[in-house]
Structure 1
Amino acid sequence: MRGTDDLHRLTGWLAERMPAASGLRIENADRITFGHSAEITALALAWTEGGTARRRDVVLRLCPPSPGLLEPYDMARQFTILRALEPTAVRGPAVLWLDESGDVLGRPFYVMAKVPGQVYEQHIPAELEASPTTIHRMTQGIIEQLAAIHSVDPGERGLAGEGEGRTYLADQLAHWSAELRRVRKDRLPALERLHEALVERRPVPSERITLVHGDVKPGNFAFEGGEVTGVFDWELAGIGDPLADIGYLELFWNVPVHFTSRPAALAFEDAVAYYERLTGIPVRHRDWYRSFQTFKTCVILLVGTMMFDSGASDDLRFAEMGLAIPHYTRAALRDLGVADDLDPGPVRASRERYREVRDRLAAAAS
């Protein structure tokens, strides 16, 4: 949100949806900076109702400006999925109100209840490091929530319109390949070979078609007392092959910045066994699914890098995304049995652009 005019319009819009609230006001509006996609703002609402002072903490999720990292964004679709999950065991945040028009803040958004707990995205605090029992329980909770997501009946929850899911893997490969071609500056031999290998070796998908989260990594869960309190970032959710989520989770499980990499965490083999017990879904072809999610991740990193390089974003985090692409691509090719040492191509932001933005931001901050 850009300033007092936005807050004024938002206050009026919220007041229309809270007719019993007298004197509604937004006391705090704090931007939440983790993540790379939607703009997230924590709001403290205060009002009087029936002579009693009331207060509620909510979170506003605003569609990012175009071009974005995960185009196309569909805030109404996210809202629909989260609303459908509210009666289930999935601990998604309760959604409250949706603006599809963009008339209030210039872009679509929805408002959801604030979830208690803490997100551990890129750090592990000392108090958590000192509690191996908590870490172990947190990793169990992630698997329990993933099982809950994959146990949702899409038809029963009104999500049948999200697709029937049988062509999910082919559709995903086509989508991310198209994104690669859209943003690349030149040929990218390693990533292009990875896509070819994935198509050549695509396995028979899981017999079970489920709701798929699409971005199920440790940093998209909130915890309180070792228990999962929230599952976030549903931009990539759809109906399809549940093993895609297993591949994505495995890709990030042992990354050192995540608590799932700690000795007290479930080993991923044990996590898979626990998942199979909870869902009855056999986990097969893990190398392929992990490589598939590596390809998707590399394309997202490339999109961010090219957004920065083209001037669409001045976010220095986007400039650094391309640095990981060669390493990830080589690992995925090895997993698929491709030994070729291929040139990654132009996957990094230009040094000149990086220095220009860095110096300009530093000067503005001084």
Structure 2
Amino acid sequence: MTESDAGNPARSVRDEDAFDVEAVSAWLRANAAPEFADTVAADPEVRQFPGGASNLTYLLRYPDRDLILRRPPVGRKAAGAHDMGREFRIQSALAPVFPYVPAMVGLCRDESVLGSDFYVMDKVEGTILRQDFPDSIELEPAAVTTLCRNAVDVLITLHQVDASRPDLAAFGKGEGYVARQVAGWSTRFRAARTEDIGDFEQVIAWLDRHQPTDVATCVIHNDFRFDNLVLDADDPLRVVGMLDWEMATLGDPLMDLGGAAAYWVQADDDEFFQLFRRQPTTAPGMWSRQELVDHYCEQMGFEMTPERWRFYEVFGLFRLAVIAQQIYYRYFHGQTHNEAYAVFGDAARYLERRCLEVLR
């Protein structure tokens, strides 16, 4: 097991997520990027990472290196979600100007190979933080603060990439990103709502009335968390990779920050919200959400007030609720039997209450 697997070790592939390994191997031998040709000449051992609840991620273990395969989940999918081609292309476009993306191996659009689109990339070796620091990493609070700053500075570096480059500009839809997000996530929630979940209509109406204009257009990750970063195995204060580009696009950077803050559980949050924690943001030395926002806005040159931030905070929580509900929808309707997904309904209910508390 490598350090990067420590908090989410690859396991045997679940029966419902299995695929034809020989067919995938044959496709890779014919289509992999030239620098990976020797690696994919052999057949891999295939394991599955159980973490994550959106796209499915597999470890392809070859004699000389490990690769990663990503594919959509089975069952009903939200329109526009789980676009493997987009995820592959945006990382390919970022590679020359943002050194934290993995090398791409190949994108397959032929659904006869695996049953869906999929892509394969190199595995970035290092440490991925999960809920808590692993035993192998012992950091004083001052070092944790340094790590926190270094991680957020990677997000800032991404937001400072020249989004007008032709290969990146193609991912944008022009001005009006905030409005499209409010409308889009509202539609996604209504499509994924189940009979046992509230309607969020008060939250949706408030977001619609209070949406600001875009502050800028840049490359945004849309899922920035410590468990989507890879740290240098020899220097855990240094970020060497950023993963999970499923929702990356061109858009408003403060919307990206709002999404990140929704996952940023801090030590004084209530007991239920602590159950959301997937990263060590309660460790001594970690920033609070306010410190996260203050550092980011100072570095990016944005003036921020508590009243102005409220929109981005509520939107981030609402978007997280929709993501939880989309996952729960698949479980509720029997499209997946992974019992880990059962709790996402409770998460959606809680997040509606939390949004309403922020609005009071």
Letter in 2 for 1:238: T
Letter in 2 for 1:265: M
Match of residue 211, structure 1, among 204, 216, 219: 219
Residue 295 (structure 2) pairs with residue 274 (structure 1)? yes
Match of residue 201, structure 1, among 202, 210, 213: 210
Residue 141 (structure 2) pairs with residue 132 (structure 1)? yes
After superposition, the Cα gap between the structure-2 partners of 1:126 and 1:56, relative to the gap in structure 1 and judged at 3 Å, is: closer
TM-score (norm: length of structure 1)? 0.81
Q: Which residue of 1 aligns with 2:260?
A: 249
After superposition, the Cα gap between the structure-2 partners of 1:17 and 1:144, relative to the gap in structure 1 and judged at 3 Å, is: same
* Contact 1:37 1:69 survives alignment (8 Å): no
CA positional deviation for 1:189: 5.3
After superposition, the Cα gap between the structure-2 partners of 1:22 and 1:100, relative to the gap in structure 1 and judged at 3 Å, is: closer
Match of residue 109, structure 2, among 62, 87, 100: 100
CA distance in 1, matches of 2:359, 2:18: 53
Letter in 2 for 1:87: P
After superposition, the Cα gap between the structure-2 partners of 1:269 and 1:186, relative to the gap in structure 1 and judged at 3 Å, is: closer
Q: Which residue of 1 aligns with 2:284?
A: 263
Letter in 1 for 2:246: E
After superposition, the Cα gap between the structure-2 partners of 1:96 and 1:193, relative to the gap in structure 1 and judged at 3 Å, is: same
Residue 187 (structure 2) pairs with residue 178 (structure 1)? yes
CA positional deviation for 1:254: 2.6
Match of residue 94, structure 2, among 85, 88, 105: 85
CA positional deviation for 1:74: 1.1
Q: Which residue of 2 aligns with 1:238?
A: 249
CA positional deviation for 1:112: 0.7
After superposition, the Cα gap between the structure-2 partners of 1:242 and 1:198, relative to the gap in structure 1 and judged at 3 Å, is: same
CA positional deviation for 1:150: 0.7
- Secondary structure at the residue paired with 1:96? strand
CA distance in 1, matches of 2:39, 2:332: 48
* Contact 1:31 1:41 survives alignment (8 Å): yes
Q: Which residue of 2 aligns with 1:12?
A: 26
* Contact 1:184 1:306 survives alignment (8 Å): yes
CA distance in 2, matches of 1:267, 1:142: 14
CA positional deviation for 1:114: 0.5
After superposition, the Cα gap between the structure-2 partners of 1:15 and 1:177, relative to the gap in structure 1 and judged at 3 Å, is: same
CA positional deviation for 1:131: 3.9
CA distance in 2, matches of 1:310, 1:164: 33
Which of 92-101 and 321-330 deviates more?
321-330
- Secondary structure at the residue paired with 1:259? coil
Number of residue pairs the alignment of both structures matches:
328
CA positional deviation for 1:84: 0.9
Q: Which residue of 2 aligns with 1:294?
A: 317
CA positional deviation for 1:59: 0.8
- Secondary structure at the residue paired with 1:37? coil
Structure label with greater radius of gyration:
1
Q: Which residue of 1 aligns with 2:3?
A: none
CA distance in 2, matches of 1:214, 1:312: 26
Q: What are the ranges of 5 or more consecutive residues in structure 1 without an aligned counterpart?
A: 47-54, 338-366
* Contact 2:104 2:122 survives alignment (8 Å): yes
Letter in 2 for 1:273: D
- Secondary structure at the residue paired with 1:219? helix
Q: Which residue of 2 aligns with 1:33?
A: 50
After superposition, the Cα gap between the structure-2 partners of 1:4 and 1:199, relative to the gap in structure 1 and judged at 3 Å, is: closer
Residue 240 (structure 2) pairs with residue 229 (structure 1)? yes
CA positional deviation for 1:67: 1.5
CA distance in 2, matches of 1:128, 1:288: 36
Q: Which residue of 2 aligns with 1:167?
A: 176
Q: Which residue of 2 aligns with 1:45?
A: 62
Higher strand share: 1
CA positional deviation for 1:129: 5.5
CA distance in 1, matches of 2:348, 2:81: 22
* Contact 1:152 1:211 survives alignment (8 Å): yes
CA distance in 2, matches of 1:6, 1:333: 47
Q: What are the ranges of 5 or more consecutive residues in structure 2 without an aligned counterpart?
A: 1-12, 267-273
* Contact 1:78 1:234 survives alignment (8 Å): yes
Letter in 1 for 2:341: F
Which of 143-152 and 61-70 deviates more?
61-70
CA distance in 2, matches of 1:31, 1:119: 16
CA distance in 2, matches of 1:262, 1:96: 36
* Contact 2:42 2:62 survives alignment (8 Å): yes
* Contact 1:90 1:145 survives alignment (8 Å): no
* Contact 1:69 1:300 survives alignment (8 Å): no
TM-score (norm: length of structure 2)? 0.82
Residue 72 (structure 2) pairs with residue 63 (structure 1)? yes
Residue 338 (structure 2) pairs with residue 330 (structure 1)? no
CA positional deviation for 1:268: 3.4
Residue 323 (structure 2) pairs with residue 306 (structure 1)? no
CA positional deviation for 1:187: 9.0
Which of 326-335 and 279-288 deviates more?
279-288
